[in-house]
Amino acid sequence: MKLTITGSAMTTCVGLDKASSFASFCAGISGRKPLQFFPAEHFNVRFAYEIADGPDRTLRASELLAKAVADAIADAALIPEPGRCAVLVGTGLRELRSLELSWTEGRSMTVDQLHFENALNSALGIALPVITVCNACAASNFTLALAEDFIRDNAYDCLIVAGCDTITESMFGLLDRVNPLHPDEVRPFDRDRKGVLMGDGAAAVVLETPAHAAARGARALAVLAGVGTSCDANHETAPDVDGISRAVGNAYERAGIGAADVHFIMAHGTGTSLNDKTEAVALRAALGDAQLRATPLSAIKSMTGHTSGASGLIGVVTAIESLRTGQVPPTARFSHPMEEAADLDIIHGEARTLPEARIAQVDAFGFGGVNAVAILEKSE
């Protein structure tokens, strides 16, 4: 079922709104900076992709989420109708940082603040159901698939789908220990990549049935043509080629397209040795050698870091802007392709002008083999 996207928003480490984030992406600007919220001397890695929005505090994830949702609603000129509209949120870590601050510094918070509903409804001034999905780094794209199902089943006429995550000290420390090397930046698909660094971010889109959007005279930013999913459960953390390939194939089937119809790919591209290799091999299996070589690919985690559950939807909002403007951001700090990507058309150096692009693919893959691939179409 194709759905109309009437509003979108994002906040990243390189821009506090959609316009500034996308402009920074197209300029190849990286948000990497010295670690600001945790004592750097506790870690091997001293950099992250944090949003510099003041001191560390509780409920930052809820704040970023509320801003993204409010901005997307405003962008859609939508007045949400209680009973026919809801918010779906994809996240990996939710308010874990708030818990850390409560445990380690005695910051005040209550259990109910772990749920996003109170913060969102307070910020919006509307009582809407809020459904939260924690599907690791594929969470927000997976939530898009749930939105398709809800609207198809006539549960809602429109949905605000969002994703958010902030860096937590425990997850930062975990990655610091498991990275075999100590990365100082994220370099997807590059021969010299060393691993992943985390980032803060939030994004949101408004999805409506075409009839609902038309009835209220809403502007269409793009079309969500279909979302393919898989959960291969092959390994706790390691990605699986077959699982990713199935998600890509399922996305094409649900969108009613073939691999040759895709004009560019927003890759998952985490900058880790195994993830980048697996994604490249899986895309080759799904698209075929010739088609993959002919399809431009961009990896914006080179500028945002890994924004966990928000990353898929940040890619979706970026792809929407690329379809609208004809500009696809480059992969920053890319210079020497890894062996598996040696013949891929990885956009780098500067943004690629693709005025005829009409269909985009956005990849999101998470721990546990949870995979979600979104297909977007340019609006007429």
Catalytic residues: 137, 268, 306
Which residue type is seen at 379?
S
Q: Which of 143, 167, 86 is nearest to 364 (CA)?
A: 143
Q: Are strands 47-48 and 33-34 parallel, antiparallel or unpaired?
A: antiparallel
Angle of helix 96-105 versus helix 169-178 axis, rounded to 10: 100
Q: Are 175 and 195 in contact (CB under 8 A)?
A: yes
- Return the SS3 of 364: strand
Distance CA 139, CA 252 (A): 20
Angle of helix 273-287 versus helix 241-255 axis, rounded to 10: 50
Q: Are 109 and 58 in contact (CB under 8 A)?
A: yes
Query: What is the side-by-side strand order in the sheet with 264-266?
Result: 130-133, 85-90, 158-165, 201-208, 3-11, 222-231, 370-378, 359-366, 264-266, 297-298
Distance CA 125, CA 337 (A): 49
**Tokens, residue 308:** 């966990």
CA-derived radius of gyration, the chain: 19
Q: Cβ contacts of residue 129 below 8 Å, gap of 6+?
A: 86, 87, 117
Residue for token pair 């001293």: 46
Distance CA 50, CA 41 (A): 17
